[in-house]
Copies of this chain bind each other. A is one copy, B any other.
Amino acid sequence: MSTTLLSGRNLAKLIQQKVRDQARDLEADGLRPTLAVVVATNDGSTQWYVRSIERAAEGAGVHCRIVDLGSDATEQALASVLKDLSAEPSVNGIILQTPLPPGVDADALVGHIAPEKDIDGANPLSLGRLAVGQPAFAPATARAVTEILDHFDIPVAGRNVVVIGRSAVVGKPLSLLLLERDAAVTVCHSRSGPLEEYTRKAAVVVVAAGRTGLLNGSHISSGTVVIDVGTNVLADGSLVGDVDEASVRGIAGALTPVPGGVGSVTTSLILLHTTRAARQQSCAQVRETVPI
């Protein structure tokens, strides 16, 4: 069977267009959607990534404010900045970029991001709200997977979706998003036993384990849709996913490439979440200030 490549690039462009439209509407109301990215590292690839968000933001009409506290920032200083940004009306979305300086507790810090500005779903409260069906932003990477499934009309309701990986950033929030879409969701991980027992019977397999070559052709059945969330940098600097692409081709019904798949959608969703947050916050402001 021929394997369809599910490129994320067109979808990313469509989302960016939506962001531009929403940003223009907000501008017409005198509002400028603003994303704050808090950085505390000199790591080159992180700096590169943050600049790529900034470029994408500015290209889509979203203002990006980089708050760089340097690689020796204290937990206290980071907490204080996150609280200030959460309270600051001109900021609509907040990302705390990792890695953080050694000894700094990221888990404690993300609790300071106001849920309505937590556009990458980092605060545990966002995850909890997602679980109980209250409004919340999912991590952009998890949301990118469901956006790709929707974009390519791949149904999950009443079907078995296997998610490999149980992280708080992808596996867990994604399983909540898939349950909301009426899938039967199985979560596998490094200690759950032989993968193929689960993946061979799945309609869709999402791999988010961060291990090169984890899923190969022997794990799947003819026609399985494979979504590769992995982003592993090889020694030669090239980027590969968690799927052994060569062995899966010809068996999988469809496959997201790496690069150019899930990852290419993620940044545009961070921006879309920011304009959405800006709209919600402007409505909340109207509700607070207009007498009823």
Interface residues of A (CB under 8 A from B): 107, 123-129, 131-134, 157-160, 166, 168, 172, 175-176, 179, 182-189, 191-193, 197-198, 201
Interface contact B176-A172, CB-CB below 8 Å: yes
**A124-B131, A185-B186 are known contacts; what are 15 more A-B pairs with Cβ within 8 Å?**
A107-B132, A124-B125, A127-B128, A127-B131, A127-B132, A131-B131, A157-B191, A160-B192, A160-B193, A175-B175, A175-B187, A182-B189, A184-B187, A184-B193, A186-B186
Shortest CB-to-CB span from A93 to chain B, Å, is 19
Interface contact B127-A107, CB-CB below 8 Å: no
Task: Tell me what chain A mostly uses at the interface: helix, strand, loop, or mixed.
Answer: mixed
Shortest CB-to-CB span from A168 to chain B, Å, is 4
B128, B172, B184, B189: the one within 8 Å of A124 (CB): B128
Interface contact B133-A168, CB-CB below 8 Å: yes
How many copies of this chain does the complex contain? 2
Shortest CB-to-CB span from A202 to chain B, Å, is 10
Q: Which of A128, A160, A166: most chain B Cβ within 10 A?
A: A128
Which residues of B sit under 8 angstroms from A107, Cβ to Cβ?
A: 132, 134
Which residues of B sit under 8 angstroms from A125, Cβ to Cβ?
A: 124-125, 128
Which 10 A-B residue pairings sit nearest by Cβ, starting from the closest?
A128-B128, A124-B128, A184-B192, A127-B128, A182-B191, A186-B186, A158-B193, A132-B168, A125-B125, A124-B132
